Structure 1
Amino acid sequence: MASPSGWVGDGGAGEWRPLWTTIDELAAGSAAEATAVVEMAPRGGAGNAREAGSAEEARSVADTLGARGMAVTHGARVVSWRLLAQRVNELAAGLVSIGVAKGDRVSLLVPPGADLTAVVYACLRIGAVIVVADAGLGLKGLGRAVRGAHPDHIIGIETALAAARTLGWPGQKISAKRLPPPIAAALRVSHSLGNVARLGRQSFAAEAVHPAPVADDVAAILFTSGSTGPAKGVVYTHRQLSALVEVLRIRFGVGVGTGLVAGFAPFALLGPALGATSVTPDMDVTSPKTLTATAVAEAALAVDATVVFASPAALTNVLATSAELSLKGRRALGRVQTLLSAGAPLPVPLLERVQALVPEASIHTPYGMTEGLLMTDITLGGIRAAELDALAAAEATHLPGAPRRAPGGVCVGLPVNGVEIRISALDAEGSASGALTLEPHVTGEIVVAAAHLKDHYDQLWATERESRRDRTPRSPRWHRTGDVGHLDPKGRLWVEGRLPHVIVTADGVLTPVGPEQCIERLPGVRRAAIVGVGPRGTAQVVAVVEIDPTAAAGTLGIGSDAAFGDGAARDAEPRVVSATPRVFGRGPFAPGVALAPTALTAAVRQATGLPVAAVLVVRELPTDVRHNSKIDRGALGIWAAGVLAGGARRRP
């Protein structure tokens, strides 16, 4: 289909498909009035979900888009392909008219939904670079990310613009909704999106001509979750985003007519490029563990969903709230054909419980990162088969009387189409110094190459140089992930943790994920982390476990509030389970709490086959903001060392 009037340019050389092409095609065809995006309203009322615009703006939008373009059904905002295409074109032209130029950086501080979707595609259409960072980074982390990206423009909701004004973030300010003039003036807001769209309509009426981006122009800067240090800006070109969309289309069959429930914003934003009808469920997008089973079911009903994406933490809470599902909700989940979850290792027992909620679905746990969102893929059945193979291999090589070691990490499957994977072996110091190899059972840093891999890190030249140090003229796409793992004899990738979290003990190098999964299989344990305490090379292994609040009291010495003393101490302190019975007196714990039972320590040692020096029990492990799943073991190790040295027993 030819570009709409007012847009010029062939899109650049090479095979790529601009992300907005599918929107244009559907808007011009028989599916024009079909649903493109659904924005769910929270149960507390639609006003809580979106900052309300003025009555004038609402009338203007309704007049412009027509009666059939937008509807509100049971509190949900439903947007057709015709409306989405029209809004994208109007915003694109309007942004140009207020000075947004090709190559300008536009920081988007708008919650997922119809407005954010339209703005993203409008910016891409005119060659502006979208800058996306998690609100969950917190004000300090978000501010660091926004300032570091040096945006030329900021589009945000009122609270985000207030932070931008207070902290002096750079760029022209554009509000997602029309603000009262005094507030707009105080926040130095020059335009609202409604005003931008009106200017865009005038621009089209005057037949203004605007250039389109080419394939290798920068399209987006996406910030990492900051789970292992300050969030990094990851740069993608239009060609690379187009390649990512194609991988999703081919691998998971997401296309025109697919109903997609996206509990992870990037997938919601890519939905329109695939032709899928996208909906973000009712949840706090900065806290995935706020997603409930009812919210997923309602979102699935809204778009007749066959595909669901949710993070591990989100799935955990979905399971915890599944008893609240209505019969109608269970039937909606019963129609789901594909469920994807990524961001952290998922134990098989949890996946099996998820399978019971979506009995017809193929459950996938792909491996990826902000720098490459989809590198490998595996199903629940594939994980079971891989674990059986690993157990059989371990039994075949096990020597009588020797301790049984933990399996080597979590299997994330085979590379998806177009992806290559190699391993750079760890040396005795825990550094990834080995040449790239495909040899099985070699533990080292995971190195990947793919057409949909990131282009580079933004303004992090040393980090970029290290990540691409394996690149050659003949192999220009290698990227060091910072993850460690190994390949098995069938070419499947097993992830064993992060490179900075490798523990170097007197007995050798230890990666954390395998032992952690063994501990998580123990009754009464929800999550676990393995950290090293002491100098590198002689570090002692310490386990930090998060208890399951539903466990029976006394399970392995945990699972009861009594383990934490009285209510005043519950939220503050860890419990130390040592190899020698001890009783703590007054202090951070309640008086007289006996810590004598050593059942947990013994169980941990037996499960992992490791000489674990100590076990700390906490109410909640600290996790990343994006998935609520990745544990910063480096910071946790420093905290554990302080606790074991007699320091303040505060929460990690």
Structure 2
Amino acid sequence: VAFTSGSTGPAKGVAYRHHHLQAQRDALMDTYSITTEDRLVAAFGPFALYGPAMGITSMVPDMDVTSPGTLQAAALADAVAAIDATLVFASPAALTSVAATAADLTSAHHDALGGVRVLLSAGAPVHADILRRAGALMPNAEPHTPYGMTEVLPVADITLDGIEKAGDGNGVCVGHPVKGVTVQISPLDSTGAATGVLTVEPNVSGEVVVQAPHMKETYDKLWVTQHASAAPPGWHRSGDVGHFDDEGRLWIEGRMAHIVTTADEPVTPVGVEHAIESLDDVAQAAVVGVGPAGTQQVVAIVRPTDPPRRPRLAALDRADAIRSAAGVPVAAVLEVSKIPVDRRHNSKIHRGELADWAEGVLSGGRVTAP
């Protein structure tokens, strides 16, 4: 039984049988051409278990495994050198920290990192810039970002080169489904519910629905949740919202639970957040809905490059720039020093928590940190 990250509610137990785990191992080895000659450094404790499952040496670097953002570049390089690693897995938060501490690397560290052939990063939407900066430290590695979830992993995969070729779009491009995986979309209706018939038609946003040999058996003791997730039977409703583009690539726009249901149309958060983060003075952004379902207002919560000591409304010039970049009507812009994220990857934004906080602040409540 593996547990989800709990980014949209209490963590759920996900039950796997041996044949599911074997299929998952085979999918990973096939997708990344892994052989018994490879060696893995996993900056995420649970992922290190795949090493023994694949019959290869694996190691966790010297870090707080409960806080991936604590990983330092030198610690990663030391782990790579210790086992002559050819594969590295790290969450976006871990890679961000590695890139930020790269100045601490010695020539021996750089030599060790030169032996890595595949760099994997997952756990939350991965910015191309993070892959680019971390990948520069491993010049012989091909950066990949696999897409999946606790219930099905991997689902799709894309390289840094593929991300750059896809360009900008509404969400994060996660590439094509991997071998053996079928992905379809259940289109959204005007209320933001995924009620449509499964389709692969391009540019139709909806819930991502997956079928694969390495899909979970069931949710542990959560029968109602299991019934809702397995519709139609034999498929898994991921809770992610996304779409296919004209090239058959899958784009992830956020979580179903985080769709903002405005009076005009449902708004998905990730594409808007990335547009806001393209501004030079915005380090991180979160987009949430405030107000009753069906008439919600879009609120942007940003962590500027010059974060405030206390939460506050953004100055007019910054708010105007954010509204212009967002591409959707933004009712308010709030600035904070820290945006809450999940404990597992330090990367998934707790948008539900932020929405409750923003609604309290904007309705005249006490201004506290989210």
Give the TM-score category using the shorter length.
Answer: over 0.9
Q: Deviations over 1:556-609 (max 9, x none)?
A: xxx16xxx3xxxxx2xx31212xxxxxxxxxxxxxxxxxxx4221111111121
Equivalents in 1 of 2:363, 2:280: separation in Å?
29
Structure 2 equivalent of residue 648 of structure 1 = 366
Structure 2 equivalent of residue 408 of structure 1 = 170
Structure 2 equivalent of residue 272 of structure 1 = 52
Equivalents in 2 of 1:256, 1:538: separation in Å?
55
Q: Deviations over 1:222-242 (max 9, x none)?
A: 011111111100000000000
Q: Deviations over 1:281-301 (max 9, x none)?
A: 001111101111011100000
- What is the aligned counterpart of 2:108 among 321, 328, 338? 328
Cα shift at 1:349: 2.0
- What is the aligned counterpart of 2:197 among 405, 410, 435? 435
Contact 2:119–2:135 (8 Å) recurs in 1: no
Are 2:334 and 1:616 equivalent residues in the alignment? yes
Structure 1 equivalent of residue 240 of structure 2 = 483
Contact 1:257–1:275 (8 Å) recurs in 2: no
Contact 1:526–1:547 (8 Å) recurs in 2: yes
Equivalents in 2 of 1:236, 1:226: separation in Å?
18
Structure 2 equivalent of residue 541 of structure 1 = 298
Equivalents in 2 of 1:409, 1:280: separation in Å?
31
Equivalents in 2 of 1:605, 1:650: separation in Å?
24
Residue 459 of structure 1 aligns to a residue whose secondary structure is coil
Query: Structure 1, unaligned stretches of length 5 or more?
Result: 1-220, 392-406, 549-558, 565-569, 578-596
1:571-590 to 2 correspondences below 5 Å: 573-577=310-314
1:373–1:265 distance in 2 versus 1, CA, 3 Å = farther
Query: Structure 2, unaligned stretches of length 5 or more?
Result: none
Equivalents in 2 of 1:615, 1:635: separation in Å?
16
Q: Deviations over 1:81-109 (max 9, x none)?
A: xxxxxxxxxxxxxxxxxxxxxxxxxxxxx
Aligned pairs, how many? 370
Are 2:322 and 1:604 equivalent residues in the alignment? yes
Residue 64 of structure 2 aligns to a residue whose secondary structure is coil
Higher relative contact order (CA 8 A, sep 6+): 2
Equivalents in 2 of 1:343, 1:309: separation in Å?
10
Are 2:225 and 1:463 equivalent residues in the alignment? yes
- What is the aligned counterpart of 1:518 among 249, 258, 275? 275
Equivalents in 2 of 1:541, 1:223: separation in Å?
31
Structure 2 equivalent of residue 238 of structure 1 = 18
Equivalents in 1 of 2:41, 2:304: separation in Å?
31
Structure 2 equivalent of residue 492 of structure 1 = 249
Structure 2 equivalent of residue 379 of structure 1 = 159
Residue identity matched to 1:614:
A
1:217-228 to 2 correspondences below 5 Å: 221-228=1-8
Q: Deviations over 1:373-429 (max 9, x none)?
A: 210000001011111xxx6xxxxxxxxxxxxxxx31100000011000000000001
Residue identity matched to 1:383:
I
Contact 1:574–1:619 (8 Å) recurs in 2: yes
- In the TM superposition, structure 1's runs of 4+ consecutive aligned residues that sit over 3 Å from their partners are none
Contact 2:92–2:130 (8 Å) recurs in 1: no
1:148-187 to 2 correspondences below 5 Å: none
Contact 1:258–1:275 (8 Å) recurs in 2: no
Residue 226 of structure 1 aligns to a residue whose secondary structure is coil
Cα shift at 1:372: 1.0
Q: Deviations over 1:614-641 (max 9, x none)?
A: 1111111111111001112112111001
Residue identity matched to 2:255:
R
Contact 1:367–1:376 (8 Å) recurs in 2: yes
TM-score by length of 1: 0.56
1:337-348 to 2 correspondences below 5 Å: 337-348=117-128
Equivalents in 2 of 1:421, 1:537: separation in Å?
28
Residue 434 of structure 1 aligns to a residue whose secondary structure is coil
Contact 1:264–1:311 (8 Å) recurs in 2: yes
Residue 196 of structure 2 aligns to a residue whose secondary structure is strand
Residue identity matched to 2:175:
G
Q: Deviations over 1:311-346 (max 9, x none)?
A: 011011111111111111111112211000001112
TM-score by length of 2: 0.98
Contact 2:186–2:206 (8 Å) recurs in 1: yes
Cα shift at 1:305: 0.8
Residue 8 of structure 2 aligns to a residue whose secondary structure is coil
- What is the aligned counterpart of 1:258 among 38, 55, 60? 38
Q: Please report the RMSD computed on the Cα atoms of aligned residues, expressed in angstroms.
A: 1.1
Residue identity matched to 2:189:
D
Structure 2 equivalent of residue 96 of structure 1 = none
Residue identity matched to 2:311:
P
What percent of counterpart residues are identical? 56
Larger radius of gyration: 1
Contact 2:40–2:56 (8 Å) recurs in 1: yes
Structure 2 equivalent of residue 632 of structure 1 = 350
Are 2:62 and 1:282 equivalent residues in the alignment? yes
